[in-house]
Amino acid sequence: MLTNNLNYESHRVSIVIPIYNEQENIAPLLQRLQSAMADYSNPWELILVDDGSIDNTALNLEKEREKYGSHVRALYLQRNYGQTAAMQAGIDAARGDVIVTLDGDLQNEPNDIPRLIKRLIDEDLDLVAGWRKNRQDDLFLRKIPSRIANRLIAKITGVKLHDYGCSLKAYRSEIIKNVRLYGEMHRFIPAWIATKTQPNRIKEEVVSHHARELGESKYGIMRTFRVLLDLLSVYFFMRYSARPGHFFGKLGFISGALGSIILLYLLGIKISGGDIGGRPLLLVGVVLILASLQFFTTGILGELMSRTYYESGNGRAYSLRNTSDAKISDNESWAKKVS
């Protein structure tokens, strides 16, 4: 995919942060972000997406954003859809040429944002992913499962990164807006990006990482199992999303071939005068042939659904409340350094 070159003179930045039950972190988060971007010479905006919080996150957000100006925008989801849907809502609302995402728990360092943007522009990349090389998390509940997941993801997707789980990333807007996120797919964004551009346009940058100081973590050991399940979906979509008939067709051929071999073997026994009526192998052969037909039929239906998916492409995994920040013109409410 050919992309337009970014430059320092004209680019704009959108920072997207999904938040859920982070009432204690809202004030310090906005303070650190404003401080990190205060000297940034180009226009930027901050989009905070409240993912249906049930504490005082929304109240604190409205109170704090009044201190900084209209470039701090807030989106409120109707309920808790999950981090992926919240991130997608923010990306959809972003107007910048560069989109930066990070978590709202203050474990990511906002001061790293300008450095990631600079590398994205200087090296003409499509994605710069943060690498929490010195990660400040629990060894057994977070670090070890994350390392296992990172290696599995790299092995299956072919995108070689050390840290898929770091939310701090800088994207070229025209690329990330061509990727639709569903389920728990936010951690696989580099893999999805690789389906839209060349892998050598995806790089990683070492970033700071802090231990959580306020609030409660939303992550646990069970998330590792969800990652493994999502990884199967990623494998399928990366290789067969546009041709599901090939995937199910292979299974159909294998099943049909095995069933045919078994039935031909039993036919030979029958011709020789043997009794095959009570053999379990007969049932196995028949089931394999039926399974083969089922796989072929599923492949055809998958092809039809794939065509519908690619031709429509307008579905969203979230719904927004009607707020003034949900709709905003392209040229208003940007923050910019005053010279």
**What pLDDT score does 127 carry?**
93
Q: What radius of gyration, in Å, describes the C-alpha atoms of the chain?
A: 25
SS3 category, 199: helix
Residue 181 has pLDDT above 90, yes or no: no
Give residue 167's pLDDT.
86
> Which residue, chain included where needed, has tokens 């707020």?
323
Alpha carbon distance 111, 167 (integer Å): 14
pLDDT (tens digit, 9 = 90+) per residue, 38-48?
989 899 999 99
Provide the 3-class DSSP secondary structure of residue 130. strand
Average pLDDT on 191-207 reads: 85
Q: What is the pLDDT of residue 144?
A: 61
Counting Cα atoms < 13 Å in the Cβ hemisphere of 85 gives: 18
> H/E/C letters for each residue in 34-68?
HHHHCCCCCCEEEEEEECCCCCCHHHHHHHHHCCC
Percent above pLDDT 70 for the chain? 76
| Least confident segment among 62-76, 196-210, 310-324 | 310-324
User: What is the per-residue pLDDT for 1?
Assistant: 47
- Once rounded to an integer, what is the mean pLDDT over residues 277-297? 90
Q: What is the mean pLDDT of residues 313-328?
A: 64
Termini Cα distance of the chain: 37
For residues 139 and 34, the model is more confident at 34
Q: Quote the percentage of the chain above a pLDDT of 90.
A: 37
Q: What is the mean pLDDT of the chain?
A: 82
State the alpha helices, DSSP H only, in the chain: 26-37, 57-65, 83-93, 113-122, 144-157, 173-176, 189-194, 222-240, 244-271, 280-312
Amino acid at 208: S
| pLDDT at res. 77 | 94
Tens digit of each residue's pLDDT (9 = 90 or more) over 116-151:
999 999 999 999 999 888 775 555 555 566 666 667
- pLDDT at residue 235 greater than cutoff 60: yes
pTM, whole model, 2 decimals? 0.72
Residue 113: CB atoms within 10 A of its CB come to: 24
CB 12 within 8 A of CB 333: no
Nearest to 52 by CA among 75, 26, 25: 75
Residue 8 in this model has a pLDDT that exceeds 80: no
